[in-house]
Amino acid sequence: MLCNMFRSLLALSPDDVLPSVYLCTNKIAADHENVELNIGGSLVTSALEEACGTSRSKIREMYSELGDLGDVAQACRQTQKLLAPPSPLLIKDVFSALQKISVQTGSGSTVRKKSLILNLMRSCREKEMKFLVRTLVRNLRIGAMMKTVLPALAQAVVINSSYNFNNEGRVENMKDKLQRHSAAVVEAYNVLPNLDLVVPSLMDKGVGFSSSTLAMVPGIPIKPMLAKITNGVQQALKLFENKAFTCEYKYDGQRAQIHKLVDGSLRVFSRNGDESTSRFPDLINIVNASCKPDAETFILDAEVVAVDRNNGHKLMSFQELSSRGRGGRDTSITLDSIKVNICVFVFDIMFANGKQLLGFPLRQRRKYLKDMFYVEKLGYFEYAKEITIEADDACLTSEATLAKISCFLENSFQSSCEGIMVKSLDVDAGYSPSKRTDTWLKVKRDYMEGLNDSLDLVPIGAWHGNGRKAGWYSPFLMACYNPETEDFQSVCRVMSGFSDSFYTEMKGFFSGDKILSRKPPYYKTSEMPDMWFSPELVWEIRGADFTVSPVHQAAVGLVHPSRGISIRFPRYIRTVADRKPDECSTAEDIAAMFRSQTRKMDVAPEN
């Protein structure tokens, strides 16, 4: 369906292709540009009242019944009588209006935003209204993600360019071409996640487009490489048997991608590509002081960790780092206001002085990294602490190797780290943006036997607290995300690990538009909390182990045909500020962790 739409646009209206990709993926700009519509449901409802002549009470009643503001908008438009059909709503006009909405700030901005929304609504026909409203509230739900939209466009480009396909008569040849082109455009986007550059290049190069067509650009964050979990040192060693590998401390901080641009400026990006330069003026000073004069441009992968320089440069927890001010598009943190110091632990380099290093093995990338910087400065700029295991020593029968890694792991815990990373040095040791591979593994201390890692989950509902917790929300209903179906699937209730101040903060946070009048159709659970929340936050949750559940729907069908997966004895660890709700742990993540847990379960379906 998407491919056919793009084929039509390529043939009839090529200028609309780029705006269409943005609209299909519910974006109006690249992630790193931090552009938001900043529109609440109340503003959309107010515009809907005026555009359709429907009272707010009627809209609330319909929303309680339908559970989707887009469906409500469509129903309102269907019952509205118009003297004449509205003029056609053009793709470019919708995209242009959304961009105008995003830049409205200051006095009178709400009125100006509403006026722009009204103009769009008055031009809508029935289903257009539904998807416009969903776009405005950032909940499009058409099953289109970047990893499906870009391949659809790539395939449209190939098909439209293959005029002699019927003469060739080789379906398999075309199938191979479509797969290669789809993979190429996704790989290119992972390296350069900017549709303004990728889409025009794809359209221009056509079937000649490849993943190497576009090069990395300092200032545009690449998608970070990810790690798989392991059950412990022995499993990691088994996967790297007879291959040289390295172990690094896994720090309890915030991942940061640090860019030096051609103009000499530095920019910092979070794990999900949001710019956070304004939050870390001290980081800018630290990196500037550490890099050599001939380090003209670079892209680093690093961890920013809170440090107590008055106590032997002791590393502090992520919670301490989170207490720093956040800054924003219009506000920066000043050096004088900083109360929590940081140390920058660099562990990789992906770009150096105009050269892309993604295909280089880690051992070689490390050499580039250390050539770009002066020696470490304790508590300010350090390389991730590491040890190297050469191929001859990488075997399960080597007690010395097992002891060396186990000692290194224990030392990481003593240094207030989460555990260690185990990475290939030479074989398949390139940097793979956005990919989770066996060449990067993480080994963390078990919270209890069985569960080898924490989960990043989204609170989607809560019950009213009782007893001492009366007046607060407790427990919270937590969910993972299934990107294939765009559903949030419940995993567990959580009611431990919270402070009283956190309960108070969440009571204030989950209010107004963040409280839903009914369970949305894209929440999958048999639980019935007192309140349903819109997906806003991501929390790190740990527990004892996994179990199958008739109530929770996480990974339903992936491990058991009719039951989901839940966590026993879950507890809150921290808020994950640099992840968006749809970037939380996925159903597939949970299924993989269930299969790898040390306590095995019989999950055969009942007769």
Domain boundaries, the chain: 1-17+144-214, 26-136, 226-444, 455-596
606 by Cβ neighbours in 10 Å (0-12 / 13-18 / 19+) ranks as: exposed
515 to 45, 296, 437: CA distances (angstroms): 15, 49, 38
DSSP code, position 214: S
Could you report the per-residue pLDDT of 157-202, keeping only the tens digit for each?
999 887 655 554 566 688 888 999 999 999 999 999 999 999 999 9
Same fold flag, 26-136 and 455-596: no
DSSP lists the bridge partners of residue 488 as: 481, 523
Taking residues 564-593, report their average pLDDT.
Answer: 90
Tell me which residue of 467, 479, 475 sits closest to 498, measured CA to CA: 475
Amino acid at 275: E
Q: Which of 111-115, 349-353, 598-602 is predicted with the least confidence, judged by mean pLDDT?
A: 598-602
DSSP lists the bridge partners of residue 444 as: 419
Separation of alpha carbons 150 and 181, rounded Å: 10
DSSP lists the bridge partners of residue 461 as: 477, 532
The predicted structure's pLDDT at residue 537: 96
3-state secondary structure labels for all residues of 217-269? CCCCCCCCCEEEECCCHHHHHHHCCCCCEEEEEECCCEEEEEEECCCCCEEEE
The predicted structure's pLDDT at residue 267: 97
Amino acid at 253: G
Separation of alpha carbons 384 and 440, rounded Å: 15
Separation of alpha carbons 262 and 265, rounded Å: 7
Q: What angle do CA 408, 251, 291 make, to 5 degrees?
A: 105
Could you report the per-residue pLDDT of 134-152, keeping only the tens digit for each?
999 877 666 678 889 999 9
Q: Which CATH class is domain 455-596?
A: mainly beta
The predicted structure's pLDDT at residue 593: 86
The predicted structure's pLDDT at residue 449: 42
Alpha carbons within 13 A on the beta-carbon side of 57: 0
CB burial readout 569-600, b (16+ within 10 A) else e = ebbbbbbbbbbbbbbbbbbebbbbbbebbeee
The predicted structure's pLDDT at residue 482: 93
**Beta carbons of 195 and 30 less than 8 angstroms apart:** yes
**Beta carbons of 451 and 567 less than 8 angstroms apart:** yes
Tell me which residue of 382, 378, 416 sits closest to 302, measured CA to CA: 382
Amino acid at 521: P
Q: Which fold has domain 26-136?
A: DNA ligase i, domain 1 (1.10.3260)
- Sign for the pseudo-dihedral over CA of 24, 26, 28, 34: negative
Taking residues 271-296, report their average pLDDT.
Answer: 94
The predicted structure's pLDDT at residue 536: 93
Beta-carbon neighbour count of residue 172 at 10 Å? Answer: 7
The predicted structure's pLDDT at residue 546: 87
Q: Which of 85-89, 526-530, 568-572 is predicted with the least confidence, judged by mean pLDDT?
A: 85-89
- Output the six-digit token pair for 300: 């680093």
Max Cα separation, the chain? Answer: 84
Taking residues 382-405, report their average pLDDT.
Answer: 95
Taking residues 259-285, report their average pLDDT.
Answer: 94
- Output the six-digit token pair for 227: 């790690």
The predicted structure's pLDDT at residue 607: 47
- Output the six-digit token pair for 373: 């910087």
Tell me which residue of 560, 544, 541 sits closest to 552, measured CA to CA: 560
- The pLDDT of residue 565 is above 50: yes
The predicted structure's pLDDT at residue 173: 82
Separation of alpha carbons 88 and 454, rounded Å: 50
Tell me which residue of 419, 410, 363, 352 sits closest to 388, measured CA to CA: 363
The predicted structure's pLDDT at residue 329: 61
Separation of alpha carbons 333 and 324, rounded Å: 9
H or E stretch covering 411: helix 399-414
Per DSSP, the three-state class of 423 is strand
Residues in the chain: 607
The predicted structure's pLDDT at residue 404: 96
DSSP code, position 468: G
Separation of alpha carbons 6 and 199, rounded Å: 12
Taking residues 367-385, report their average pLDDT.
Answer: 96
Beta-carbon neighbour count of residue 530 at 10 Å? Answer: 11
H or E stretch covering 548: strand 546-549
- Output the six-digit token pair for 445: 């201390």
Residues ≥6 apart with Cβ < 8 Å to 263: none
Query: Does the active-site annotation cover 385?
Result: no
Average pLDDT score over the chain: 90
Q: Which of 16-25, 492-501, 537-546 is predicted with the least confidence, judged by mean pLDDT?
A: 537-546
User: What is the value of pTM for the model shown?
Assistant: 0.80
Q: Which residue has 């509902």 as its token pair?
A: 461
Band (pLDDT 50/70/90 cuts) for residue 11 is very high
Separation of alpha carbons 282 and 233, rounded Å: 36
Residues ≥6 apart with Cβ < 8 Å to 264: none
Band (pLDDT 50/70/90 cuts) for residue 288 is very high
Catalytic one of 250, 423, 442, 444: 250
Separation of alpha carbons 381 and 544, rounded Å: 36
Q: Which fold has domain 226-444?
A: D-amino Acid Aminotransferase; Chain A, domain 1 (3.30.470)
The predicted structure's pLDDT at residue 541: 94
Could you report the per-residue pLDDT of 46-80, keeping only the tens digit for each?
999 999 989 999 998 888 788 788 889 999 988 87
**Beta carbons of 302 and 376 less than 8 angstroms apart:** no
Separation of alpha carbons 406 and 232, rounded Å: 9
Looking at per-residue confidence, does 508 or 596 come out higher? 508
Amino acid at 151: P
Q: How far apart are the first and last CA of the chain?
A: 40
* Highest mean pLDDT of the ranges 44-58, 339-353, 502-516: 339-353
Separation of alpha carbons 5 and 579, rounded Å: 32
- Output the six-digit token pair for 493: 């209730």
Q: What is the dihedral of CA 392, 396, 400, 405, to 10 degrees?
A: 100
Separation of alpha carbons 26 and 135, rounded Å: 6
* Cis status, amide bond into 88, omega within 30 of 0: no
Tell me which residue of 474, 471, 487, 500 sits closest to 554, measured CA to CA: 487
β-pairing, 539-542 vs 571-575, is antiparallel
- The pLDDT of residue 534 is above 80: yes
Q: Which of 42-46, 79-83, 444-448, 576-580 is predicted with the least confidence, judged by mean pLDDT?
A: 444-448
Alpha carbons within 13 A on the beta-carbon side of 436: 10
**Beta carbons of 304 and 267 less than 8 angstroms apart:** no
